[in-house]
Amino acid sequence: MAKSSVNIDAQCAKILSDVQAGRFSPVYLLMGDEPYYPEKVCDAILEHCIPEEEKDFNETVCYGSEVTAAQVVTAARRFPMMAERQLVVVKEAQQMKGIEELAFYCNEPLDSTVLVILMHKASADKRKAFYKAAQKVGTVVDSPALRDYQIPDWIHAYYASRGLQIDPQAAVLLGESAGTDLSTLVVETDKLTKNLPEGTTRVSVADIERNVGISRQFSIFELTKELSYKHGAQALKIAAHLGNGAKFAMPMAVSALFTHFSRILKYGALLARGGYPSPEDKARALAGVNPYFYKEYDAAVRNYPVRKAMAAVSLLCEYDYLGKGGDGALVTDGELLVELTAKILNL
């Protein structure tokens, strides 16, 4: 798991532990491009902060499009009614007018109020007073989006937290299907675990194919594999099938292929120095790759030495441009993918 993901996961685990024990900060600023962790913290606060019988009088939940910062401050400055504390939650806070005015409240928050500012796929300006005040007096969760190559490691860690092991290929396939949205991955995992036989502790590719409704045979993961081994007929077959998919998008396919060939290029450059690389050097060159897949990259650098790998990266840059409408191309995304696959195979 990437360092930033590990940090945010550990931070949120600590916050959830405190919340469940009844320990609260006066202010929570929950933000970032990846909404999974901010929303998880917000849900936990809503569950544990105010007893059910006190919620009618001491819990206020509103949305940024419906309130101003001044109204939020007024609500936060109220005292709880016959209770220890009150909770004020602003969801979709990125839409709230005058959000910087919250800095004045954060500088002198009430001990009896828990104020939660939840921003969806957005962040407060870290240069300005509100962020600085919230950071000083309260708790800030800043959740970065994960890159596609970080997702399999996140899946492994998440499954481990649920007492499950997942095969490397299965994690890649699940990540390819769900993308980088962590909430989607969690939902798909919930669906999967409900359908697994009782006592299952290891999730395989077959489990993902059967329960998530995707096929390893026709995936970008399999396309990169067939390209690595230069299995031309199978690579072209997969490219044609992928390109005809209702959800296919050329930029996403090019991004995955670019990551793959960039790793081949780095690994090839390492080998070109001479001698067999140390495990540490190999791991750095193939950052984000599970060692289970090293064999594939050993084959790929033989089929795409540095010069050919550079040519493949150049082709990918060209087709990224075409896939985004460059040159007014009239061909479909699916046709572009087949054409790109053929050109890579011919390097």
Among 84, 113, 142, identify where a domain stops: 142
Nearest to 177, CA basis, from 130, 213, 143:
213
Looking at residue 214, its pLDDT comes to 60
Looking at residue 92, its pLDDT comes to 96
Among 112, 142, 172, identify where a domain stops: 142
Q: Are residues 115 and 34 in the same domain?
A: yes
Domain boundaries, position 87: 3-142
Which residue type occupies 209? E
Per-residue pLDDT of the chain (347 residues; tens, 9 = 90+): 444 555 888 899 999 999 999 999 999 999 999 999 999 999 999 999 999 999 999 999 999 999 999 999 999 999 999 999 999 999 999 999 999 999 999 999 999 999 999 999 999 999 999 999 999 999 999 999 887 778 888 998 899 988 899 888 788 778 777 777 899 889 888 888 888 888 888 988 888 877 776 655 667 888 999 999 999 999 999 999 888 877 677 887 888 899 899 999 999 999 988 778 888 888 888 887 878 788 999 999 999 999 999 999 999 999 988 888 776 666 788 899 999 999 999 99
Looking at residue 213, its pLDDT comes to 61
Q: What is the rounded distance in angstroms from the CA atom of residue 220 to the CA atom of residue 236?
A: 12
Q: Are residues 247 and 326 in the same domain?
A: yes
Among 118, 142, 166, identify where a domain stops: 142
Whether the CB-CB separation of 281 and 267 falls below 8 Å is answered with no
Q: Are residues 33 and 137 in the same domain?
A: yes
Q: Could you give the number of structural domains in the chain? A: 3
Whether the CB-CB separation of 139 and 8 falls below 8 Å is answered with no
Whether the CB-CB separation of 151 and 198 falls below 8 Å is answered with no
Q: Are residues 191 and 222 in the same domain?
A: no
CATH value at residue 134: 3.40.50.300
Q: Are residues 16 and 136 in the same domain?
A: yes
Q: Are residues 19 and 79 in the same domain?
A: yes
Q: Are residues 208 and 222 in the same domain?
A: no
CATH value at residue 197: 1.10.8.60
Q: Are residues 249 and 314 in the same domain?
A: yes
Looking at residue 2, its pLDDT comes to 44
Whether the CB-CB separation of 273 and 265 falls below 8 Å is answered with no
Q: Are residues 131 and 155 in the same domain?
A: no
CATH value at residue 268: 1.20.272.10
By CB atoms closer than 10 A (0-12, 13-18, 19+), residue 168 is: middle
Q: Are residues 112 and 45 in the same domain?
A: yes
Helices (H) and strands (E) in the chain, counts: 17, 7
Q: Are residues 125 and 84 in the same domain?
A: yes
Is 265 in a helix, a strand, or coil?
Answer: helix
* CA angle in degrees (0–180, nearest 5) for 307-283-6: 125
Q: Are residues 200 and 135 in the same domain?
A: no
